[in-house]
């Protein structure tokens, strides 16, 4: 009996020592290769289709991690297996495996990648034109896909408020993108929808908005703010002008909505332009258009979520070329400034 007890004690000690040893081994190998001092970044390339094992080997060969097996364990614990992206990376030996994994999930650059920029306030038609000119998409195919909201609605919750028979206008987020030369039109559209989804999750999902606007209505108003604003600091004030008009059931009379109908950004609209029979004509119809008129940027979306409170219902561009607007709640004052321009 004493012998069995001694064996048990020895076995328990081995387990404890082994556990402590494993813990120490893990902690040591999850530290940076270099723990102090300044050190330059090392450029590495992660090839397409690389597994976590392959990536760990590349990092170990470049002395950026202490142990490739521990790196794979950390990746499993973080749940990043299968999420590490190919590309060129600048990595320092002072980074921990977790920090390196975060960088690899975010994605690097690629020498064969193609970059394109979609400015704030672009319409889908303008996007298609630019991407076609840059040989990135087939214009007709791109436009055809953006007309098919149902194709994407199941994967993107924010599209559920888009009225039937409308397109993805307003939801292809404007920013700089990087794609491979053979990336399909659908994948490019999804990439842009993914970026809008990040804004949706952070800023819009589950939130209540002024005048109980739904997501589509909020993005529609944000798109008008985008096209009417020249200065970022004025966006919240312009948003409130339109909110005030909506509350009064006053026509928005946004030139940008008529420009959307015309398909061109005319500096001055004619009387005939403002009388075009269209659901997008806010000179003829009370309330918001059925869908956005362009893709609003983050500043316009945030301005529409949090407008600046005031009683103004008119604004007009100042004649001093500052890009700023004059705001008022007095129609005669509005006309006076407008006619002096």
Domain assignments of the chain as residue spans, ordered by start: 26-106, 114-204, 213-340
Q: What is the CATH number of domain 114-204?
A: 3.30.1490
> What tens digit of pLDDT does each residue of 10-19 get?
555 565 555 5
Closest CA to 153 of 141, 165, 143: 165
Cβ atoms of residues 169 and 124 within 8 Å: yes
For residues 198 and 124, give the distance between their C-alpha atoms in angstroms, rounded to a whole number.
Answer: 20
Residue reference for tokens 């893709």: 295
Do domains 26-106 and 114-204 share one topology? The answer is yes
Q: Which residue has the higher pLDDT, 332 or 211?
A: 211
Q: Is 95 helix (H, G, I), strand (E, B) or coil?
A: coil
Beta partners for residue 327, in sequence order: 315
> What tens digit of pLDDT does each residue of 66-110 get?
898 888 898 888 888 888 888 888 898 898 999 999 999 888 776
What mean pLDDT, rounded, does the chain reach?
Answer: 89
Fold of 26-106: Dna Ligase; domain 1 (3.30.1490)
pTM: 0.72
For residues 109 and 50, give the distance between their C-alpha atoms in angstroms, rounded to a whole number.
Answer: 15
The confidence band for 123, taking pLDDT boundaries of 50, 70 and 90, is: very high
Q: Which residue has the higher pLDDT, 258 or 50?
A: 258
Long-range contacts of 151-160 (CB under 8 A, 24+ apart): 152/189, 152/190, 152/193, 155/190, 155/193, 156/193, 156/196, 156/197, 157/200, 157/205, 158/196, 158/197, 158/200, 158/204, 158/205, 158/215, 160/215
């Amino acid at each position: 009996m004493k012998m069995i007890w001694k064996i048990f004690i020895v076995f328990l000690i081995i387990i404890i020592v082994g556990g402590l040893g494993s813990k120490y081994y893990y902690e040591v190998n999850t530290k940076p290769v270099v723990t102090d001092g300044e050190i330059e970044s090392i450029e590495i390339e992660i090839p397409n289709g690389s597994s976590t094992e392959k990536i760990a080997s590349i990092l170990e060969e470049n002395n950026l991690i202490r142990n490739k097996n521990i790196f794979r364990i950390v990746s499993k614990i973080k749940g990043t297996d299968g999420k590490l992206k190919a590309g060129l990376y600048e990595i320092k030996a002072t980074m921990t495996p977790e920090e390196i994994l975060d960088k690899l999930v975010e994605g690097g650059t690629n020498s064969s990648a193609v970059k394109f920029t979609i400015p704030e306030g672009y319409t889908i038609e303008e996007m298609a034109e630019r991407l076609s000119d840059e040989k990135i998409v087939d214009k007709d195919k791109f436009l055809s896909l953006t007309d098919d909201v149902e194709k994407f609605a199941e994967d993107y919750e924010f599209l559920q408020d888009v009225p039937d028979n409308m397109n993805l206008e307003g939801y292809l987020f404007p920013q700089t993108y990087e794609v491979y030369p053979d990336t399909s039109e659908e994948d490019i559209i999804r990439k842009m929808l993914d970026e809008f989804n990040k804004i949706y999750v952070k800023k819009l999902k589950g939130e209540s908005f002024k005048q109980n606007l739904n997501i589509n209505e909020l993005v529609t108003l944000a798109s008008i703010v985008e096209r009417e604003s020249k200065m970022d600091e004025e966006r919240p004030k312009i948003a409130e002008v339109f909110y005030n008009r909506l509350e009064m059931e006053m026509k928005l009379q946004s030139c940008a909505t008529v420009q959307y109908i015309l398909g061109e950004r005319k500096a001055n609209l004619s009387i005939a332009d403002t009388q075009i029979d269209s659901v997008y004509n806010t000179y003829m119809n009370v309330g918001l258009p059925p869908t956005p008129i362009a893709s609003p940027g983050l500043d316009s979306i945030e301005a529409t979520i949090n407008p600046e409170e005031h009683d103004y219902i008119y604004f007009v561009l100042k004649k001093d070329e500052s890009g700023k607007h004059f705001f008022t709640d007095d129609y005669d004052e509005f006309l006076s400034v407008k006619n002096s321009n």
